Structure 1
């Protein structure tokens, strides 16, 4: 099996399956979109070619628009029935070397269940096995939610008074994040606090969110009737869809339904900005956020396992 960068003639198709036309069309369209947005580059698309010249495995490095440092792997396809998944292990090792040479210190990959467009990730158990063999570990066991276009907006919570990033500046957002992250039920945030402390984790989270597309007036802090900061709302757009982004509720104000209020507020902001579909994720262990999405009219359409490895 020969590992190499994909030829121009192989883009955006990569691995094709004779009996899966929907899969082939969907993944090709997805990769074409990523290439057009510079979320990936032709030289970031790796393939494994067998002795007969057929591409039997592939993946592409991914990042947010405007960044030259890869963050994740997408469109991972290998021979899933191969003993020891040797081709997949070799491909992931090569992808890791390439990502590290481009400045990445960590690489992520997600597995969505059930399999769906645009990546159509069949064989989730084998995928997870391959990632573990390649040195990845489970960083988050999550749930995915979405709200389709149309329908009434979720009711707004008039107990909260909202003030935006444009009005407040960045510091109050960092302060509220530093207060909330140490007791969050989200595994990502807990790991960030363990690595960097509360303030450092807050800086990291806010910097990650700032890599998404947003307007300063979208980001808000909701103040409780007593005037104290109670909740934080960071709706945004990723390269594919509008997202609730990040929800945080100050420890002193939990148990008052403010997580639902934040989802409702973010939904209103994004719909008014023209969003046709809105998505949101949370940790499976974060039952309060799952309930908040459900109360705001979102459906749990998939589960998502997020894996990562240091390079």
Structure 2
């Protein structure tokens, strides 16, 4: 290891160096730097000579000053000591980037949907997970990523539900609070171990929904013909794609198939904008939501794995 150099990149001028290792996010990095979703001091490389053997990078919402996710961790898969190099790089970078006494940001990795069945893909995933686990993280959740493509049929409204925009943020927060009862979402379940349902809803709103770029008049509350809310969906744009950001059915209305009607409405809202795709995700264990996406013609094109560190 004595011949390794571990350092952050100097700026956008070193993106070619950083991108020596391939990943599906490489094409986004230049814009991320411009928009300050990434910072050069959060993008580290392990270099031997002129060869990058490992790299990592944190991401945050534009305008925030602290890293929110560790979402890039790549290794040169031809290097016999790649996992050891990755461990050394991550420990060194974390000592500089993560403030002492604070919980490191969650690690998230996009992976092939069939990664367990394809030996080369499995080795790539397991090597990266080994690095993060050796630096103290543990598995938290695996998620399914879905994509709807233009031309996929979208059902017409069937009249069971009507849709309107939320009256205001307070109404949406009230609905977000109510749907946490019986939630199958791992992040929501974790939030409820340390926060009240209302506090968890506010945290979710402030950390995610408040950063959506699409107009809020795309958001929909689903109601019965008499006006009683059944659930909601927040079609939106994040920094990269049109998305189904949050979709949920109130506990007292679950089991009636309303999720299909609500998802169809969210898809219609975005499809009307002539979008090139729609992205969505749900936990592997949230079988009802995963099946709803499949019924609606969304393809499970990828997965993500999430690992977390315990509170210090």
Shorter-chain TM-score range: 0.7 to 0.9
Paired residue secondary structure (1:280): strand
In structure 2, the partner of 1:216 is 216
In structure 2, the partner of 1:2 is 5
In structure 1, the partner of 2:195 is 196
RMSD over aligned CA atoms reads: 2.7
In structure 2, the partner of 1:72 is 69
Relative to structure 1, the CA distance from residue 87 to residue 42 in structure 2 (aligned partners, 3 Å threshold; closer, same or farther) is: same
Deviations 1:217-264 (A, max 9, x none): 112211123432111111211211111011111010001112112211
In structure 1, the partner of 2:307 is 307
Relative to structure 1, the CA distance from residue 287 to residue 28 in structure 2 (aligned partners, 3 Å threshold; closer, same or farther) is: closer
- How far 1:85 moved relative to its partner? 2.4
- Give TM-score, length-normalised by structure 2: 0.86
- Give TM-score, length-normalised by structure 1: 0.86
In structure 2, the partner of 1:146 is 147
Please identify, of 55-64 and 31-40, the stretch whose mean Cα deviation from structure 2 is larger: 31-40
1:174 to 2:173 alignment: yes
Distance in 2 between residues matched to 1:102 and 1:276, nearest whole Å: 43
Contact 1:222 1:232 in 2 (8 A): yes
Relative to structure 1, the CA distance from residue 196 to residue 175 in structure 2 (aligned partners, 3 Å threshold; closer, same or farther) is: same
- How far 1:86 moved relative to its partner? 2.5
Relative to structure 1, the CA distance from residue 84 to residue 47 in structure 2 (aligned partners, 3 Å threshold; closer, same or farther) is: closer
Contact 2:6 2:89 in 1 (8 A): yes
In structure 1, the partner of 2:294 is 294
Contact 2:19 2:26 in 1 (8 A): no
In structure 1, the partner of 2:117 is none
Task: Number of aligned residue pairs: give it.
Answer: 299
Distance in 1 between residues matched to 2:113 and 2:182, nearest whole Å: 32
Deviations 1:163-205 (A, max 9, x none): 213xx11112111111111311111111111121211111111
Paired residue secondary structure (1:194): coil
- How far 1:121 moved relative to its partner? 9.5
In structure 1, the partner of 2:41 is 43
Distance in 2 between residues matched to 1:171 and 1:209, nearest whole Å: 13
Contact 2:46 2:52 in 1 (8 A): yes
Distance in 1 between residues matched to 2:59 and 2:226, nearest whole Å: 44
In structure 1, the gaps of 5 or more residues are 18-22
Distance in 1 between residues matched to 2:37 and 2:16, nearest whole Å: 13
In structure 2, the partner of 1:239 is 239
Deviation beyond 6 Å, 4+ runs, structure 1:
none
